[in-house]
Amino acid sequence: MTADPTMARIGQAVELHHQRGQREAARELFARIWADIGGERGDPLHVCVLAHSMADVQDDVHQELTWDLRALAAACLITEGRVAEAGVPLSVAGLYPSLHLNLSECYRKLGDLGRAREHFRQARDGIGALGDDAYGRLVKDGLERVAEQLGETV
């Protein structure tokens, strides 16, 4: 469990979605947390993680893209010290492969293959920041799937 109460709440919403299949309930909890943190004016770590997770529960790819772009913008403002303080077991660099992978997938769905490939390559280039754990394997598996769809190599 993380030392940061907001990160714990975000984790609860992620669990609603991924482990319980309750997409709408997760989306509602994410929206409440988003309001509580002050939206994009909130702590960049909270904004990044929440927006990245909120993107996953969107039904419309344009909304998904909007949330993923918010997450990427916030990631640029996160420090290693803040990540450690929150008890997140990743480096800041470890956030980027998943962010870029999701953006690649959004742009692919929208038919913008140039941007999809650009973000795919950024995800691929950053993959070394991930560990050989469940999260790292999840992102690497996603990278392989998207590579196949885009005709790229990992």
Q: Assess whether 74 and 45 both reside in one domain.
A: yes
Its pTM surpasses 0.85: yes
pLDDT below 50 — which residues of the chain? 1
Q: Assess whether 62 and 116 both reside in one domain.
A: no
Domain count within the chain:
2
Contact in structure between 104 and 116 (CB atoms under 8 Å): yes
Q: Assess whether 110 and 150 both reside in one domain.
A: yes
Domain boundary among 69, 89, 109: 89
- Exposed, middle or buried: residue 103 (CB in 10 Å: 0-12, 13-18, 19+)? buried
pLDDT, residue 1, reads 43
Q: Which domain holds residue 115?
A: 92-154
Q: Which residue, 93, 85, 92, 86, is CA-closest to 125?
A: 93
Q: What tens digit of pLDDT does each residue of 90-112 get?
A: 899 999 999 999 999 999 999 99
Q: Assess whether 5 and 20 both reside in one domain.
A: yes
pLDDT, residue 141, reads 96
pLDDT, residue 3, reads 75
Q: Assess whether 49 and 96 both reside in one domain.
A: no
Residues 6+ apart with CB under 8 A from 17: 23, 26, 53, 56, 57
Domain boundary among 64, 89, 114: 89
Q: Assess whether 103 and 141 both reside in one domain.
A: yes
The label of the residue with tokens 């950053």 reads 126
Cα gap 52→106, rounded to integer Å: 12
Q: Assess whether 8 and 81 both reside in one domain.
A: yes
Q: Is 111 left (phi over 0), alpha (psi -120 to 50) or beta?
A: left
Structure tokens at 22: 């309750």
Domain boundary among 89, 117, 144: 89
Cα gap 8→101, rounded to integer Å: 24
